[in-house]
Amino acid sequence: MLIGVPKETFPGETRVALIPSSIPALTKVGLEVLLEAGAGAASGFADSEYLEKGAKTVTRDEVFAKSDVILQVRGLGANPDAGKADLPLLRPGQNLIGFLEPLIAVDEVRALAKVGATAFSMELMPRTTRAQSMDALSSMATVAGYKAVLMAADLLPKMFPMLMTAAGTISPAKVFVVGAGVAGLQAIATARRLGAVVQAYDVRPAVKEQIHSLGAKFLEITLDSAAAEDKGGYAKELGEDFYRKQRELMTSAVAGSDVVITTALIPGKPAPKLITREMVEGMGPGTVVVDLASERGGNCELTEPGETIQTGGVTIIGALNLAASIPYHASQMYSKNITTFLLHLLNKEGQLAFNLEDEITRGTLVTRNGEIVHPTVKEICSGA
């Protein structure tokens, strides 16, 4: 069975779906890897490294024409414009695995079904212990949380740590992290390593212990948030009244912070607006907001996705695709996730054998045999 890895075509995308060190795990079970020449170059992986591990380099057309399985970082849906060029290259029954944005990319999902591709979405990976090694969203969130702190530290006109110097004592920077998922927890850990005083808030009271374990303070906001998490471990939408009360209680925390990092996302929904214009106006000059929810409109009311703006002395970073800004390690993590998932889909003979009784396989399968088969995605597409 042939596994194809095309070069990513989304603007600014520097990651690659498979790195050289992941290839032996595939060849060991009888798979062969075809790589579009130069696919790993932007991530720091030369074609020669792939060849040393047993891959073959070919053209993009050959990758799609010969491969049984296509591995991508951004498949159609997560690459809505440039990804359309790959549609004519896909064939019925061909398997596609990657980020596909199936909860919002309705037209693209329909197009994948129409060409007869069997598509698996890495975004839909269950948040379970068994699927943890395949959870690419968490891997990329780790990278984003880390980079968000470095971006804030670079722009903040203060140093993060407390320092005792001959010129006097330098007070530590104060960082407020909104959302303690994977990105938020990594932001907390990175800010703490740099010496900042960190407090964090999440609607899920259960993460309080995790926040404390990283040396940060948990901001206590007493609200009824029992329904803040779904069965899959993802955040749920709680309604505008809840968010209004939350914003009122967060105002003082934002005003007292040098850096605010927001990470709150709800799958398939616009990002909740948690940081209002009034909150930003209450921040001091030189302070920084890094909005990791920019791709869904942002958690800050003033965020301009993809732009860094200043308003009233406050810098607001509308961060997009931060994982691609550290492509070497982001690709390393993604490659491990997607390789583990591909091996999960194989039987003992090294052939694809979809066990739809398995929650991982069933939960990530979007299209098959010309139909949209994922219940949630099917419902969204039928109602759009």
Active site residue 81: no
CB neighbours of residue 192 within 10 Å: 17
The span from the CA of 96 to the CA of 117, in Å, is 7
| Among 22, 43, 121, 138, the one annotated catalytic | 138
Active site residue 247: no
| Among 127, 192, 193, 204, the one annotated catalytic | 127
The span from the CA of 316 to the CA of 227, in Å, is 30
Using DSSP's 3-state secondary structure scheme, residue 305 falls into coil
The span from the CA of 109 to the CA of 182, in Å, is 27
- Contact between 108 and 130 (Cβ < 8 Å): no
| Among 135, 202, 258, 291, the one annotated catalytic | 135
Using DSSP's 3-state secondary structure scheme, residue 8 falls into coil
Q: Which residues contact 52 (CB under 8 A, 6 or more apart)?
A: 20
Active site residue 234: yes
Active site residue 230: no
- Contact between 289 and 315 (Cβ < 8 Å): yes
**What single string gives the DSSP state of each residue in 129-172?**
STTGGG-HHHHHHHHHHHHHHHHHHHHSSS-SS-EEETTEEEPP
| Among 91, 130, 132, 277, the one annotated catalytic | 132
CB neighbours of residue 10 within 10 Å: 20
The span from the CA of 3 to the CA of 199, in Å, is 45
The span from the CA of 95 to the CA of 230, in Å, is 29
| Among 192, 204, 234, 328, the one annotated catalytic | 234
- Residue 209 has which token pair? 């212990």
Active site residue 132: yes
The span from the CA of 352 to the CA of 63, in Å, is 18
- Residue 329 has which token pair? 């390690």
Residue type (1 letter), 287? T
What's the Rg (C-alpha) of the chain? 22
**C-alpha to C-alpha distances, 1 to 41, 70, 348, 353, nearest whole angstrom:** 25, 11, 13, 13
Q: Which residues are catalytic?
A: 127, 132, 135, 138, 234
